[in-house]
Amino acid sequence: MIRIAIDAMGGDHAPQAVVAGVNQAIDSFMDIEIQLYGDPSQIKKYLTAQERVEIIATSQVIEGEDEPVKAVRHKKNASMVVAARAVKDGQADALLSAGNTGALLTAGLLVVGRMKGIERPGLMPIIPTINPESPQFILMDAGANAQSKPVYLHQYAILANHYCQTVLQIEKPRIALLNNGTEMSKGDDLRKEAYGLLSQERKIHFIGNIEAKDLLNGQADIVITDGFTGNAVLKTLEGTAKGIFKLLKQTLKAGNFKTKLGALLLKGQLKKMAYNFDDTRQGGAVLLGVNHPVIKAHGSANDQAIYHAIEQARMMVLARTIDRMRHAFQQAD
C-alpha cells in the first residue's frame, strides 16, 4: 500500500476540494491509503470514501499570511506540520498540501529533511506548452531559493532528470538553461558558471540555453533556472494566461447580439482550449531534494487538481524516484 499524508486544511477551497479529490482518488487507485490531517468535523462533511482513508485530528492551521518559518516552528499541531512529521517518521510515504507555499517548503526542509548531498532543495512545477508533441515542461527552481549558486542549478538538473525519467517516463529528457540568449557566452556570472557545469555533466542530455520567449514551444523537457527568476517567470506565465482568458471572457460578454451568439457557438471549443492549458492536470509542484515526495498543489486547486496531485505522489512512490535520486547523490559524495 502507498500511504499518502494530506494536509486537508491547506488551500483556498479546503477542506472541501481536498476531500473531494481524495474521494475520487480512492475510487481510482486500489493501492493507495490516504491520511487526512485536519479538523475531523469539517472533513467528515465532504468525505464519501469508505475505505483506506483515515482522519488524523489536528488543532491548528497554517494560514496563507503566516510567516513560513515561524509558522512551522510554532504551530506544532498544524495539519501541514503533523502530516510532514508522519512522513518523516515513516508512517506515510508522501506529503501533499495546497496550503502556504513557503510553509510547505519549510516543512519539507526542516521536518521531512534535506537529502544527503543536496545543497538546496528546489521547487519543480510542471507547465503546459502549446505543442501537442511535447505537451509539458518542468521548471526548476520555481522559487524555493531566492539566492542561488551555480552548484544548485547543477543539482536541480540531476534531480529533475530523475523525476522526468521515472514519473513522466521520458528516457532522455532534453535539459536547457533559461538564459537571455541562446549563445553559450550569454547571461550573468551565475548563468555562465551553470552552463559550464551542465555542459560537462555526462548523466544528463544538456541542449544549451533557452530563451523565455520559447518556453511554451516545447523545445525542452526540463528548464533549469535560479529560484528568483523561476518564480518571476512562472508567475508571469500564470498571470498572462489568466489575464488573457479574462480579457477574452470580458470581450465575449460585453459584445452585441452577434458577439454573444458567436460566443455561445464557441463555448465548447474555448473550454477545451482552456482545459488544455490547465497546469493542474500534471499534478502539483514537487519539492525535489528532500527525503520523501513533497507535493505542493496550487492554492486554488479544485478536486481535479488534488486528484492529479495524489496520482503524482503515487507515481513517485511506485517508481522509487527518491531512491534513485538518493543513490545518485550518494555516489557523488
Q: Closest CB to a second copy among 44 and 74?
A: 74
Decide: helix, strand or coil at residue 109: helix
CB of 65 to a second copy, least distance (A): 10
Nearest approach in angstroms of CB 95 to a second copy is 23
Residue 116 neighbours by CB under 8 Å, 6+ apart: 326, 329, 330, 333
Q: Smallest gap, in angstroms, from Cβ of residue 52 to a second copy?
A: 37
Positions in the binding site for a second copy (CB under 8 A) = 129-130, 143, 146-148, 178, 180, 186-189, 191, 211-217, 225, 227-229, 231-248, 251-252, 255, 258-259, 261-266, 269-270, 272-273, 276-277
Given the DSSP bridges, would you call strands 285-288 and 122-124 parallel, antiparallel or unpaired? antiparallel
Sequence letter at residue 305: A
Q: Of 197 and 273, which has the nearer Cβ to a second copy?
A: 273
CA distances from 86 to 107, 121, 197 (A): 12, 20, 37
Comparing CB distances to a second copy, the nearer of 247 and 332 is: 247
Q: Whole-number minimum distance, CB 108 to a second copy, in Å?
A: 17
- Judged by DSSP in three states, 218 sits in coil
Within 8 A by CB and 6+ apart from 151, the residues are: 119, 197
Check if the beta carbon of residue 61 is closer than 8 Å to that of residue 9.
Answer: yes
CA dist list (Å): 119 to 46, 72, 104, 116, 155: 41, 21, 18, 8, 8
The nearest distance, CB 121 to a second copy, in angstroms, is 16
Angle between helices 257-276 and 227-254 (to 10 degrees): 150
Q: Which residues contact residue 308 at a Cβ distance below 8 angstroms, ignoring those fewer than 6 apart?
A: 280, 281, 282, 283, 284
CA–CA dist 324, 190 (Å, integer): 27
Q: Quote the distance between the C-alpha of residue 172 and its chain's center.
A: 21
CB of 260: closest distance to a second copy in angstroms?
9
State the cell numbers at 176: 536547457
Closer by beta carbon to a second copy, 49 or else 232:
232
* Closer to a second copy by Cβ: residue 16 or 219: 219
Q: Whose Cβ is closer to a second copy: residue 33's or residue 238's?
A: 238
Of the pair 61, 178, the CB lying nearest a second copy is at: 178
CA-closest candidate to residue 327, choices 123, 86, 138, 118: 118
